[in-house]
Structure 1
Amino acid sequence: MEYNSSLPIYLQVANLIKRDIVTGKRELGEKLPSVRELAVSYTINPNTVSRVYKELETEGVCFTRRGMGTFVTEDSEKVKNMKEEMAGTLIHEFLEGMQQLGFTKTDVIRILKKKEESGE
């Protein structure tokens, strides 16, 4: 995987795991890979993985059971809120990019409608 130098690696990996959760690739209550397994799969330091899991726990995205591992939250409302937050971020970035290109909100709506009608 290639990482973006403008964002710490642990946050990038945490965001990938959150995306897997909201898209259903990881189910509620599912056991996450061990620190070593995740480190190998993302080719990162195990200490970075520990930081990923700590961040996800702080956000309530996962929880750890001592001696058993780290698990995806069982709170479907939390996952729903995460999904809406991620969608909001994507929309904001999209609108900001379109504005930088000189498009108004009306232009953006027109373009989106045209794309939808053409089936793209």
Structure 2
Amino acid sequence: MQDAFEIDESSSTPIWLQLKNRIVYLIASGYYKPGDKLPTVRELAIALKINYNTVNKVYLSLLHDGYLMSRRGKGTFVNELARPAEAVEDSPADTVIDMMINQCLELGVPLDDVVNQVTRRVARRRES
């Protein structure tokens, strides 16, 4: 279980946000499918050696965002995400890019600056 949930304690990104983004990625990539049961808050906190309240904050946020659903006495499960029938499945790269954009926005970086920074990075890669 712990292998699926990676936390980088040396990262400047808060642990709760790393965990939230990781769970979103695991759902988007198909690792967790709709209806799959997630570890309990306590189990995940112990496995990752992080505070119970941190995991609880992530689960509550993901419940609010519609990624998870809670069944009293049963646990927390991946929600059936509402998607239009014509929606195209995101590739794993799309998911990673979305996570990067969300992290930049949560750090207060304006969307136009994110685009400019990514463009500069791509240009730098092409030159090397």
TM-score (norm 2): 0.63
Aligned pair 1:41/2:44, yes or no? no
Residue in structure 2 matched with residue 66 of structure 1 by the alignment: 72
State whether structure 2 residue 30 is matched by structure 1 residue 24: yes
Which of residues 75, 99, 117 is equivalent to 1:96?
117
1:87 Cα offset (Å)? 3.4
Measured in 2, the distance between the counterparts of 1:2 and 1:88 equals: 19
Partner of 1:56: 62
Structure 1 counterpart of 2:36, one-letter code:
E
Superposed displacement of residue 29, structure 1:
1.2
In the other structure, the counterpart of 2:104 is: none
2: CA distance, partners of 1:82 / 1:57: 22
2:9 pairs, out of 3, 8, 15, with 3
RMSD: 3.4
Larger radius of gyration: 1
Matches of 2:121 and 2:81, distance apart in 1: 38
Give, in angstroms, the shift of residue 31 of structure 1: 0.8
Any idea what SS the aligned residue of 2:35 has? coil
CA 5–90 in structure 1, closer or farther in 2 if over 3 Å, else same? closer
The amino acid across from 2:49 in the alignment is T
List gaps (5 residues or longer) in structure 1: 112-120
Task: Measure how far apart 1:58 and its partner are.
Answer: 1.1
Q: Which amino acid aligns with 2:81?
A: D
- For residue 75 of structure 1, the aligned residue among 81, 89, 98 is 81
